Amino acid sequence: MTQEFTPEELLGPLNDVEKRRSPKKLFVAGDCKLFDIHPRVSVVGSRKASADGLKRAAKISRLLVERGAVVVSGLAEGIDAAAHHAAIEAGGKTIGVIGTPLDKSYPRSNEALQAVMMREHAVLSQFPSGYPTMLKNFPIRNATMALIVSASVIVEAGESSGALAQGWEALRLGRMLFIMESVVNNQSLKWPKEMLGYGAQVLASDNLDAFFDALPSGRLSVDAVFA
């Protein structure tokens, strides 16, 4: 069953910047109680991800689940799908934020995953039924994903990746943004250094504890939701 909310009904009180940059309506299929859990952390990146990128996405998602976080991603191929699958396989909860109405799926290869998440986890869209699927929907979706999470992690992304829209929006909203060290060290990319200059942080294996310590604790008992 699909439920319709204003952003404040679903997420709680928003500040003036968040209100200005949020969609008018949000549509949710699945367990709406997942939006009462903190932290919710987005794990995003390239659709055409490397094998190492997929492994990193799965690892950080498993670690987040172990600490009671809800893993949020965009139900795209590559990094997004790896994050969702890893969260589910680790026994955690995950939210998909999609660029189509809830009654459609893109890509079709993730149709079965989306169906499972709509039954057992949650899928969110800002696009009502009948809204056309256009390329511009997906960076808009990424900006909304930045709004609904405590922090975003960019695992792997090129200069034209939709994950960059999420990174910049996270910084505009004052959300925590983390970029994996492997991406920061890629000398062919300009965007990581630009985002670091505006407050993004490097996520490396030797600062994972600091990363987890920086995340907010739960507003609602995780056990109550996962029971």
pLDDT at 217: 72
In a domain, 223, yes or no: no
In a domain, 225, yes or no: no
Cα gap 91→23, rounded to integer Å: 31
Residue 84 CB-density burial (10 A; 0-12 exposed, 13-18 middle, 19+ buried): buried
Whether the pLDDT of residue 67 is over 90: the answer is: yes
Average of per-residue pLDDT across 29-51: 96
In tens, the pLDDT along 158-207 reads 999 999 999 999 999 999 999 999 999 999 999 999 999 999 999 999 99
In a domain, 110, yes or no: yes
In a domain, 224, yes or no: no
Mean pLDDT of the chain: 94
Indicate which CATH number applies to the domain containing 200. 3.40.50.450
Whether the pLDDT of residue 215 is over 90: the answer is: yes
In a domain, 11, yes or no: yes
In a domain, 227, yes or no: no
Average of per-residue pLDDT across 7-19: 96
How is residue 128 annotated by DSSP? -
Average of per-residue pLDDT across 6-12: 97
Kindly report the number of other CB atoms within 10 A of residue 86's CB atom.
25
In a domain, 29, yes or no: yes
In tens, the pLDDT along 134-169 reads 999 999 999 999 999 999 999 999 999 999 999 999
In tens, the pLDDT along 83-128 reads 999 999 999 999 999 999 999 999 999 999 999 999 999 999 999 9
In a domain, 226, yes or no: no
pLDDT at 218: 52
Whether the pLDDT of residue 227 is over 80: the answer is: no
Nearest CA among 115, 112, 113 for reference residue 102? 115
Q: Nearest 5°: CA angle at 107, between 106 and 111?
A: 80
Which residue blocks in the chain are alpha helix, DSSP H?
Answer: 7-11, 16-21, 51-66, 79-89, 111-120, 137-148, 163-173, 181-184, 191-197, 208-214, 222-226
Per the structure, the complete domain to which residue 144 belongs is given by: 2-217
Domain count of the fold of the chain: 1
